[in-house]
Amino acid sequence: MQTTNSSTEEEEIFQVRKLEISDKKKGFVDLLQQLTLCDSISDEVFEEQFNEIAKCGDNHLICVIEDNNSGKIVGTGSVFIEKKFIRNCGKVGHIEDVVVDSSVRGKQLGKKIIGFLSDHARKMGCYKVILDCSVENRPFYERCGFKQKEIQMPHRFCHLYKSSPKACTEEHPKTSINQYMFSKRIITFGYK
């Protein structure tokens, strides 16, 4: 009984919803810094990028979990819907940037995010969702119903953290981000 009450309470405290502009003030960017290197972003640049992503409508969804007690963003993930010619002009959902705040891991919030993103991709007509992850996160994605398939083959064009993407004209193989990424073994997952 106790468990049921506390899990219902947690359901109410931690609800998944779409990203809003005001989430920057609630720690959204700080949370992304737990996932990978992510510089601080000015309010102006954040708004510009938010509006740019919004132009994709339901084809690019970023979701968050807000802790309704503290008002802090404690989870996020995104899915991008790719339209293809193969598979009868089918669609594939690409899941990216999944992270749960270290203070609330192990409460099924990661699973909730993956469920939300997968449901969205299904409703959008995707025949599958796929993602890349480190070997360390493989058990988590398996618990979410994913299966390992194939390998990832990245070819970086630029230093990800230059101030402008327009400046990405040459390769910078020895940057901190590359060292960070190559220090992690990455695998590709598909959801059946």
Ligand X SMILES: CC(C)(COP(=O)(O)OP(=O)(O)OC[C@H]1O[C@@H](n2cnc3c(N)ncnc32)[C@H](O)[C@@H]1OP(=O)(O)O)[C@@H](O)C(=O)NCCC(=O)NCCS
Integer Cα distance of 85 and 87 in angstroms: 7
List the interface residues with ligand X, window 11-70 (CB under 6 A). 34-35
Show contacts of 182-185: CB within 8 Å, 24+ apart. 184/134, 184/136, 185/134, 185/135
Cβ(168)–Cβ(159) below 8 Å: yes
127-149 in b/e form (b: 16+ CB < 10 A) is eebbbbbeeebeebbeebebeee
- Closer by beta carbon to ligand X, 7 or else 34: 34
**Shortest spacing between CB 176 and ligand X, in angstroms:** 18
- Closer by beta carbon to ligand X, 81 or else 95: 95
Q: Number of residues in contact with ligand X, rule: CB under 6 A? A: 18
- Closer by beta carbon to ligand X, 2 or else 88: 2
Q: Which helix (H) or strand (E) holds 61?
A: strand 60-67
**Shortest spacing between CB 163 and ligand X, in angstroms:** 25
Pick the piece of the chain touching ligand X (CB under 6 A) from 21-29, 105-113, 118-126, 176-184.
105-113
Pick the piece of the chain touching ligand X (CB under 6 A) from 15-23, 62-70, 139-147, 163-171.
139-147
Q: Is 24 left (phi over 0), alpha (psi -120 to 50) or beta?
A: alpha
**Shortest spacing between CB 108 and ligand X, in angstroms:** 4
The helix/strand/coil state of 173 is coil
- Closer by beta carbon to ligand X, 63 or else 99: 99
107 near ligand X, rule: CB under 6 A: yes
Point out which residues bind ligand X (CB under 6 A). 34-35, 98-100, 105-111, 133, 136-137, 139-140, 143
